[in-house]
Amino acid sequence: MSADTLVLGGRVVNVLAQEVYDGGVAIAGERIAAVGDVEYARGPDTRVIDAEGRYVTGLVDGHLHMYHSYLGVNAYVETLLRHGVTSTADGFYGQGVVGGIDAIDDRRDNITRRERRAPASSMHAKDGRSSDECRFKG
C-alpha cells in the first residue's frame, strides 16, 4: 500500500535513541504511517514534499502549560528542544488570565521571532554533528 504523502530528505529527531538522522515521514490519510527510510511507500499518486535539511519529526507533546514552567519563551523553547520536543499544544490560558490578550500576543510574537535551530544537547547526528550544528532552515 502506498502513502498519500511522503516528506523526504529531512532530518528525524529520535528521542528514544537520542539521535538525529536523515529520513522522512510517510502519511496515510490523516496519520503518520512510518518514519525513517520511507521511499518504499511511494506510489504513482503519492504527493512528495522535499524537506531537504529540515527537521521533519520529533516528539509531539500534546499537553503542556508553558505558564507553569515559570520560564521565559526562549528558555522554555530551548528546554523543550533539548529533550527532542519539536511540537507542542498550549492554550496560553495562564498568560491570558494574568495579562489578557496583550500577554498572549506577546508570547506568540516571541515564539514566532525565535531563530529556528536545534540547541546544544546530548543528541548527535549520525554524521557526527552535534544537534547544535544542525540548524533549522526557513
Domain boundaries, the chain: 5-57, 59-121
Output 95 or 25, whichever has higher pLDDT. Answer: 25
Beta bridge partners, 127, equal none
CA angle, 114 as apex, 77 and 81 as ends, to 5°?
Answer: 25
Architecture of domain 5-57: Roll (2.30)
Looking at residue 44, its pLDDT comes to: 95
How far is it, in rounded angstroms, from Cα 41 to Cα 1? Answer: 7
What digits encode the pLDDT tens for the residues 53-80? 888 877 777 777 777 777 877 888 888 8
The Cα–Cα gap between 88 and 72 comes to 16
* Dist CA 70 CA 58 (whole Å): 24
